[in-house]
Structure formats: structure tokens, C-alpha cells
Structure 1
């Protein structure tokens, strides 16, 4: 039997205060495994900027996944247009796609005419509650990025999500497209909050 011994980090609390450490742990594990890409969730652009600054000169590729247009308010994109332009100019790929683990399903479950939960939302809620909110976010971002062609499905990536704002969960994922969800594999949890 062979095994690998690796570091796993646990934050005392979830949230934005962990973002800098999450970036550091992401780069550390990517280099350790020889991975090329870090996929990070960012709503406004703040987390994306933190990761961009931390990754400068690392040789790693940054893919940022944002909320869809209209997520908070109809017709509006929460991500800063100025930050998006700066990141794109510096080779960062920004992906905006429908949330793979909610999207249309959420419209149905919230509807007073239809109501009730969906299987897709049950998967999302299980990831959120059993492991970490950031794990659900990281998995969803990888699905969105794969569906948009921003990452391939044959190479592992570092995936980063958070709880409400910032980054607090880092994992290694072998991607899949949403239509092949059960081919996705969370291969390592590098960091996560102990309390949710």
C-alpha cells in the first residue's frame, strides 16, 4: 500500500479573513502537484485581485468565476468592470456562467406555483452542510469553467471557494462538465473552515 502525506489546513472560522492564506495554500499545493491552473470564485473582484497579486510570477494560470449577470439585481453584474479589465489585460480568464448547482432549479423551487426542493439543490445543500459552503462553491465554479471551455476536464485544478465573501476552502479537483457531474472528483481538501 502506498500513500502520500500532505498538509491540510483548518481555519477556526469561515470568511474573508482567510483569503490571503487560502491564496498561499493554493499556490503551495499547485506547485507541489505540478498543477497549472487555479480556479477561484469572486463576486466583486476583491478575491480575484488578492489571488492575482499572490500568484504574480508563479507561472500559474488564474481562472476567475463570477456570479451571473442578474444574480443580485436584474441586469447588473456585481463584478467590478475596472477590475475585470485589469485582470483580462494581464491574462486572467474571467468566466461568467449560470450556476450549475442552482440556475433554473432555484426558480422552480422558489416559485409559489411550483415550490419544493430539487435534486440539484439537494446536492448543493449536501456539499454546503456536510463539508463546507466553500466546497460547494469550488465544485460549482469548476463545473462552470469546464462548461465554458476555460479549463479542460483531463487535468486536475486547484479550486477555491468561500463562505459569503472571500476564500476559505481550497481543494484539488478533477473537472467534469455539468452534464457529467458524477465524473467530477474532489481529490484533496487543502484547506477549509472547521466551523460553518
Structure 2
């Protein structure tokens, strides 16, 4: 798949992502604008399952020689919050370690080319994917990476108002306010799931 793409045009990756999402039960549109920000793929599961991934906004990075950095993670998480959808970052090669770490903090799901050929959307994970990582170094759990919400930003109200990604201190983040929240994480140490290139690329940049 990587050998036949046009290096000057990343539309092939957007098309591939949309096709994968449609195979997983979503309706999709491409290159729509969210509050003035062009978004590569937007998806809605039909029918919804009352889960955060019922609504998806995806950014596609067809970078063959450069690892995707923190800016892409921050950008798609911002759009997801505006759209009240789950953020997905799809990369052709890999991400930097800072980008991976920020993605865990913000629950941005990172997918690779190989993930798009699987039977369903890959799960959220407690640890960095094992494939290609340093085996002598124990990766932190997602809970260890989560920052505490500053007390000054804490608020409690019964009003029907918009909320930040983190509802309150100690809660899992969820961009989609009317969903049940992101609470299920796969422990990759005990999983047979092959997470592909993300771990390999992330380990190269420390």
C-alpha cells in the first residue's frame, strides 16, 4: 500500500481511512470544516452504541520520512472537543515519543496503516504498543500519565452547559458529553493484538 501512493498528495490515506471506518459500521464524510478547521475524515457509527467512538474526527498524516509530532495530536484533540467527537490520528510511518505521551493524556487514538485492515477500530491501551519498543523498559500506564485538573478550574453545576474534556479531577476524559465515557483500556502486556509501527517509531525519538 505504501509503495503505490502519490507522495505529493495525501488524499489516498484519507480515502483509505474513510473506507475502513465504513467497513466498521460508520457513515463518513471527508474534508469537512469544523469551525473553520478542515478535518480529513468525520464519521458517525450507525446505529450508535452509546460509546465515545460513536462519533469520530480523524486527521491523516501521510509522512513517509518524518515522525508526526505533538502539534498534530493537539490539533485533532482541539477539533474533537469542538465537535464533541473522539479524536483519531492516522499516521503512515509513526509518531514521536512526546506525541505519543500527549496522545495518552488526551485519549487521542493513534492508528497506523496496518490498523486500517483490521476487523474493527483498535482499542485504547494502558501501555505503549509492545512491537518495536525497548523490552527492558517498563512503559507507564495511562493513569500515571494523566495530570491532575487544577483546583481553580474545578466546577460543579447542574446546568446543561458544555464541559471540558476532563469532567472533574480523577475522571477519565471523554470529548462526547452524552456518552458513557472512556473507561475501557486494553493491557497490551496480556493482549495478542499486533499494534504495528507506532511503538517502533516512537522509540526512535527520545
Task: Please state which band the TM-score falls in when normalised by the shorter chain.
Answer: 0.3 to 0.5
